[in-house]
Amino acid sequence: MDKVRRVISVIVANEAQVLARVSGLFAGRGYNIDSLTVAPIPGSNFSHMTIVTRGNRRVIEQIVKQLHKLIPTYKVIEHEEMVEKEMVLIKFSIESPIAEIQALCQAYNGSIVNAGPDMFIAMAADEAGRIAHFIEAVERYHPMEIVRSGVVAMER
């Protein structure tokens, strides 16, 4: 069976241990995590986790069911029609061609967000695949540091 990439949202009670329960489930059952993000849902007692994973059909089905089986899990959404965004922060030396990098940033929903005496930081927010392209594109400017946020997604 072919492996596919899946973005899964998990709505969980915002309580102690819940992240450990989810990440432990993936570790214990040998599932992949490409990225995992979590933050509270405003105005509720729940948190929203977005997990990007990979596996064949049976594995993905098990992931969804096993996530659902956790007692604090309220809802599991296997995304199909979604808006998916990831953010990346990239630090460059101040010597780098800032105008070129800024132009690239704009193509990927981004901008220069900070600058200091020795460096400046560029940001882009886009689909995970496009973020990968962006990182590729700026590689020739020898970035000093790259931080990706992981994916967040919302069903349309």
In angstroms, what is the minimal distance from the CB of 42 to other proteins?
A: 18
Counting contacts by CB under 8 A, is residue 74 touching other proteins?
A: yes
**Residues between 28 and 47 with contacts to other proteins, criterion CB under 8 A:** 28
Counting contacts by CB under 8 A, is residue 13 touching other proteins?
A: yes
* Closest to 124 measured CA to CA, from 92, 156, 81, 80: 92
Q: Which of 3, 4, 5, 24 binds other proteins (CB under 8 A)?
A: 24
Residue found by looking up tokens 């956790």 in the block: 70
Counting contacts by CB under 8 A, is residue 65 touching other proteins?
A: yes
CA 140 to chain centroid:
24
Cα(8)–Cα(119) distance, integer angstroms: 36
In angstroms, what is the minimal distance from the CB of 65 to other proteins?
A: 4
Backbone region of residue 30 per phi and psi (left: phi > 0; alpha: psi in -120 to 50; beta: other values): left
Site residues for other proteins per CB under 8 A = 12-13, 16-17, 20-21, 24, 28, 58, 61-62, 65-66, 68-69, 71-74
